[in-house]
Amino acid sequence: MEIVFTGILMAVISFVASFIVLKLNLPFLPKDGGKTAVTPDGKIVEVNSASRGKTTGVGLLFTLVWYVVTIAVYGALWGLNEQLLINVGLLFAMTMAGYLDDRAKVHWRDLLKGEIDLVIAIAVTAVYLFFNDTEVYFFSWHMTLHPVAYVALAIVMLWCSVNVTNCSDGVDGLCGGVTIVECIAFFLIFPDMPKEYGGMALALAGALIGYLFFNWFPSSQLMGDGGSRPIGLFLGMLAMQSKHPFALLLMSFVFIFDGGIGLLKVFLKRRLKIVILEKIRYPFHDHLRKNLNWNVPNTSLFAIGAEVVCTVICGVLMMLFGG
């Protein structure tokens, strides 16, 4: 019960602090320049004019609240361990990389951002292996992976988690809402996860609830890469700390389906000249918005509802087969 109380306390503090900080609408935050895409005939067109002029990069603020609350609460109650401090530092590095891209007049190349994600994913994996073993679970079945196999699995998982989450941040309330559900679900489904990461999950959920007051349609603020990228990294960390890395396939299924399939589609087309799902626009939230004419709140609520279903299925499977 102690960890439940502490987690709820962290969530409440994060919510209040996040709401207050974001309410200030600090002037140094950049303004969104809109979203463009290249048509098949080579023309550059604006596809998300609604975001133009909104304050973006506020992920810097609510993630800083999240980090400070985590360090302050755990430092006061139980003291801080080295692994937690290093991981918070790596999350902050991802936040800053995303925020600097948010405020850049010319956004960074996708290759550069992918390389930064890779370096941080390697660092997170190295830190994990320094402090932990390579045991993984698939429901009740478990095994100890060879370190090389674990490194490959972890790096791919972390890199993909960062990028599918980032790609899904394109509709008011979607990324924040889905992440809130996933963080709470990780806390409930995997109670044996180290207490500091369960508490961090609830603290992030609280900070994001504060953020949604400004990001729900019609939004005035956007998290930008400074929010979505560290969120994706942390979700991957939760899968590693729970020792159920394969559970991320179900826990993050909404992000994988919404943004991940789009990444796969682009890779196949650019590198292998293979075209798949030609009639479906990705990220999938763009298909709902542009092709099926769904409004923004319904699109976000659909994604959040789908995430609830996925996490409930994961929870039920863990109850039945988790041992």
d(CA 87, CA 65): 16
Arithmetic mean of pLDDT over the chain: 92
Share of the chain above pLDDT 70, in %: 94
User: Looking at the DSSP assignment, which residues form a beta bridge with residue 22?
Assistant: none
Q: What is the pLDDT of residue 42?
A: 42
Is residue 33 helix, strand or coil? coil
136-175 exposure pattern, b = at least 16 Cβ within 10 A, e = fewer? bbeeeeeeebeeeebbebbbebbbbbbbbbbbbbbbbbbb
Say whether pLDDT at 35 is over 80.
no
Q: How deeply is 57 buried, as exposed, middle or buried, from its count of CB atoms within 10 A (0-12, 13-18, 19+)?
A: buried
d(CA 230, CA 93): 9
Q: What is the pLDDT of residue 76?
A: 87
Residues 6+ positions from 113 with CB-CB distance below 8 Å: 97, 101, 225
pTM: predicted TM-score of the whole model, two decimal places: 0.94
| Dihedral in degrees, nearest 10, Cα atoms 110, 118, 198, 58 | -30
Q: Residues 209-268: pLDDT tens digits?
A: 999 999 999 999 999 999 999 999 999 999 999 999 999 999 999 999 999 998 998 888
Total tally of structural domains belonging to the chain: 1
Q: What is the pLDDT of residue 229?
A: 98
pLDDT band for 46, please (50, 70, 90 cuts): low
Q: 313 versus 75: which is more confidently predicted? A: 313
In the chain, the amino acid numbered 139 is F
According to DSSP, residue 294 is labeled -
Q: Residues 175-213: pLDDT tens digits?
A: 999 999 999 999 999 999 999 999 999 999 999 999 999
Q: What is the pLDDT of residue 266?
A: 85
Q: Among 63-67, 83-87, 107-111, 120-124, name the one with the lowest average pLDDT.
A: 107-111
Which domain covers residue 183, as residue numbers? 2-321
Kindly state the tokens that stand for 149: 């196999």
Residues 215/221, Cβ–Cβ less than 8 Å: yes
- Angstrom CA distances, 1 to 6, 48, 144, 264, 296, stand at 9, 45, 30, 42, 38
d(CA 145, CA 134): 6
Q: What is the pLDDT of residue 44?
A: 47
Q: Which is it for the CA torsion 241, 242, 247, 253, positive or negative?
A: negative
Q: What is the pLDDT of residue 274?
A: 86
Q: What is the pLDDT of residue 123?
A: 98
In the chain, the amino acid numbered 278 is E
According to DSSP, residue 258 is labeled I
Q: What is the pLDDT of residue 49?
A: 61
Say whether pLDDT at 38 is over 70.
no
